[in-house]
Amino acid sequence: MFRAYAALVLVGLIWGSNYIYIKMATAVISPMQVVFLRVLVAFLPLVIAAWASGALNRRQVRHFPHFAVMSVLATSFYYYGFVAGTALLPSSVAGLLGGAIPIVTFVTSYLVLRSERPSALTAAGVAIGFAGIILTARPWDSGGSIPLAGVLWIIAGTVSVGVSFVYARRYLAPLGLSPLALATWQIGLALPTLAVLTDYHGMSAIAENGHALLGLVLGLGLLGTGLAYLIYYYMVERLGAVGASGATYLPAVVAVAIGAAVGETITSIELAALGLILGGVALIQFGSRAAAKRAAV
């Protein structure tokens, strides 16, 4: 169990550091180019692990339409939204907004599946979490210190990945496919889509910036996508889905800490927003667990 919890901390650190790597890469090449290279680098370790473990087989091809939908929702558009948003925002602010994924996922799940009636606890969690999002975005700031376009791109990415969880629960969970197989298919199918959509002009500039190249290949690709998926599946196996969900608390904290370390201004507003978002996530999880226990009785 020590290894499982160590893995939880590690994946939180990896995901939290993604935002500064995105800032470094998008200073050199376009957001679409960053997403394409990230997915390209991540696909290799995933497909090797999936093939070696026997997670892939020919019978899965008949589920191609579902994999294609997931490749857009959980990879292509999700990654692009986060990269495009982070390019416009301080990495700490992008990390804060990214921490709202569990909140958006819960709301999307309720609206689409209607499987769980919100309790007072979960409703309070949603309200507090969205208050944190609004505080982060600061729409009342006429000076525009937080670009609205960046906020909207991050929110679009969170909605996309939130819808992907609901889609997977409705259409893919009953199939009994391993998470590793699903991740490999969705990333593998996203790759040719991104290859067609990407404008390659100027992309070679990333090779001239060693720090940005290392951050993109190692930080975003191999660690932030490929290895992070593998670690997360290990956590789910050892800790269960509820235990593994603890990894969602760390990235926002890590992103804010890294932002402060590289000289971004972290005010009491960012810290208050961090507390609200994490508090909202915690209340939603506690409320959902309580509802699951009541349903099991």
- pLDDT tens for each residue of 146-169: 888 999 999 999 889 888 878 887
Q: Residue 295: enclosing H or E segment and its boundaries?
A: helix 268-296
Looking at residues 71-77, what average pLDDT do you find? 93
Q: What share of the chain is helix, strand, coil (3-state, %, to 5)?
A: 85, 0, 15
Considering the chain, what is the average pLDDT of its residues? 86
* Both tokens assigned to 98: 């990214």
Site of tokens 């979960």: 122
Amino acid 4: pLDDT: 73
Cα 67 from Cα 60, distance rounded (Å) = 9
Q: 188 pLDDT band (50/70/90 cuts)? A: very high
Amino acid 297: pLDDT: 57
Amino acid 209: pLDDT: 94
Angle, vertex CA 21, rays to CA 20 and CA 27, nearest 5: 90
CA atoms in the 13 A half-sphere facing the CB of 230: 18
Residues 6+ apart with CB under 8 A from 58: none
pLDDT tens per residue across span 121-143: 888 988 998 999 899 888 777 66
Cα 138 from Cα 148, distance rounded (Å) = 9
Alpha-carbon distances of 22 from 15, 144, 213, rounded to whole Å: 11, 22, 11
Cα 76 from Cα 95, distance rounded (Å) = 19
Residue 116 neighbours by CB distance under 10 Å:
15
* Both tokens assigned to 78: 């999700």
Cα 282 from Cα 284, distance rounded (Å) = 5
Amino acid 69: pLDDT: 95
* Both tokens assigned to 33: 């180019």
Q: Is the pLDDT of residue 197 over 70?
A: yes
Q: How far is CA 127 from the centre of its chain?
A: 21
Q: Is the pLDDT of residue 1 over 80?
A: no
Cα 193 from Cα 174, distance rounded (Å) = 27
Cα 268 from Cα 272, distance rounded (Å) = 6
Cα 278 from Cα 289, distance rounded (Å) = 17
Looking at residues 252-271, what average pLDDT do you find? 90
